A and B are shown apart, each in its own frame.
Chain A
Amino acid sequence: MVNTGEVSFLSEFQFIIFVKMNGVTSDRDVSDVNEDFQLDGGQMNDLLQQLETYTPVIPDGVARHYLNRAGVNTTDPAVVRLIALASQKFISDIVNDAMQLNRMKGSSQTSRGGKKEKRSLLTMEDLLPSLAERGIKVKKPSYYP
């Protein structure tokens, strides 16, 4: 999973981690080494409190099932919801980028004077570049064998 990892503790709640994932490094990793992207202690408490009220899209049972598959034994719903929320955000970010790409393409192609195209279809054409930005390479089969 991780080849090398260095951890340095600045304070009780803040930390910076250098990461190399499976030998693949991207520019993103270096830029992530930044205090602004990490959570404060007080923010952590806020987040946990939010989790109690806010239910992620992924149901608790489903998330717990996949965590059990990974070997995590949980009785705490906060941990489960935290992971579910993070996964949800991960996918949400990708889809948001694809949406922006779609709108960019749509605005350049269709004329402004015509009807506003309300129906937006998420296609692989929008998804692939969005994934490529994150270093996830997906190959779409060009034909059905």
Chain B
Amino acid sequence: MSSEMASEVLSPENGFRQSLTMAVAAICLECGFESTENIVLETLTEMLQSYLTEVGNGTRAYYEHSGRTIPTDKDVIYALSEMGFRNKSLLQYSRRGKRINIGQIVKTVDTSNPPVLQVGKSKGFPTYVPENHKYPHFPDPHSYIRTTTGQKPETDYVILREQASAQKRDVERALTRFVARTGRSHPLLPDDKNAFPLIEAQPHLIPYLNALLPSEHETLKLFEATNDQNNEQKEPEKDPETPSKSKNRKLKKKRPSNETTPNIDAPAQPETNTETPVVKESQPTPPVPSVIHNPYLRPVKKPKLKKKAR
């Protein structure tokens, strides 16, 4: 078969056209021709392309007229009849012996859609639809049937109370078991070590220390109080402080009985000792310190106005 293949422009449209030309050449070969003129080949290719397009148009008209989006075989038959095609001869033609097979075009791998999970059985077609139909199946019933989900909340008091207590017990048990399992544990039963794990007690070296030491809250409060008193006491009272008058004035405040401890200056002591509580007692309100650290508590100072020279 001496037929020139046009390979001027490498476009997909040309590729399809070329395969049509090949098909035409195969048809001519099948009919008995060994060669054709180039123009004959082009003419027949053009006719084949137009025919394919026209049948496609007719098919589309028919299936769109029926309100479908996918063609069926009937639509094709109708379209072919409309174009004057003798459909009956198709059967005989398809059974002819002498055939030339070009072979399918190898396609690149298509990105196929992943299979959709089917939930439930989809509806079947009515009986008047023939079995060899190629209509698309009905969608899953859940796409058009709606059933409400969820449970009604419990309202019975007895049940709710029981559930609440059970939850609380379960949570406690789970939590204690978790701590016992992840930390140090002490088994209750000597035989079964995993049945009742108890959280191991970790005793301190000096057990009573915790009881004696003051808490952080108390420490902080006293620290603030002593700071204020230190600032106030520095100015009015500058008499020599006896060893008993230590900086830690809380001892003086809390244990007034200790003020009578033996000192070097015995006669002078009671005087100063009695003075300090008197001084403190006469001032029920905390004295205003000379330096206020908080700027918002300081007295307002008027800004200096500068006379602008005009």
Contacts and interface: CB of A to CB of B under 8 A. Distances in A.
Interface string A68-97: 011111111011001111111111101110
Nearest to A47: B91
Interface residues of B, number: 68
A67 B44 CA distance: 18
B91 A67 contact: no
Interface residues of A, number: 72
Contacts of B43: 124, 127, 138
A70 B58 CA distance: 9
A4 B43 CA distance: 29
Interface of A is mostly: helix
Contact of B81 (A17, A36, A50, A127): A17
B19 to A, nearest CB: 5
Contacts of A17: 78, 81-82
A105 B108 CA distance: 47
B56 A66 contact: yes
A37 B89 contact: yes
A76 B31 contact: no
B48 A87 contact: yes
A95 B71 contact: no
Interface in B33-84: 33-37, 39-40, 43-44, 47-49, 51-61, 69-73, 75-78, 80-84
Contacts of B59: 67, 70, 72, 79, 83
Contact of B44 (A21, A37, A75, A95): A95
Contacts of B88: 36-39, 43
Contacts of B84: 19, 21, 28-29, 32
A95 B19 contact: no
Interface centre among A2, A120, A140 (most CB of B within 10 A): A120
A55 interface: yes
Interface string A13-56: 00101010100000011001000111100011111101100110
A50 to B, nearest CB: 5
Contacts of A102: 33
Nearest to A97: B31
Interface of B is mostly: helix
Contact of A99 (B33, B54, B55): B33
B112 to A, nearest CB: 12
Contacts of A95: 27-28, 31, 33, 44
B31 A96 contact: yes
Given A38-B88, A83-B52, A122 B37 contact: yes
Contacts of A38: 81, 87-88
A19 B82 contact: yes
B101 interface: yes
A127 B35 contact: no
Nearest to A76: B134
Interface centre among B40, B52, B104 (most CB of A within 10 A): B52
B82 A140 contact: no
Interface of A: 1-2, 5, 15, 17, 19, 21, 28-29, 32, 36-39, 43-48, 50-51, 54-55, 57-63, 65-67, 69-76, 78-79, 82-92, 94-96, 98-99, 102, 118-124, 127, 136, 138, 140
Interface of B: 16, 19-20, 23-24, 26-28, 30-37, 39-40, 43-44, 47-49, 51-61, 69-73, 75-78, 80-91, 93-95, 99-105, 107, 132, 134
The 4 closest A-B pairs by CB, nearest first: A70-B56, A122-B36, A66-B52, A37-B86
Given A28-B84, A85-B90, A90-B51, 4 more contacts: A36-B88, A78-B134, A94-B47, A95-B27
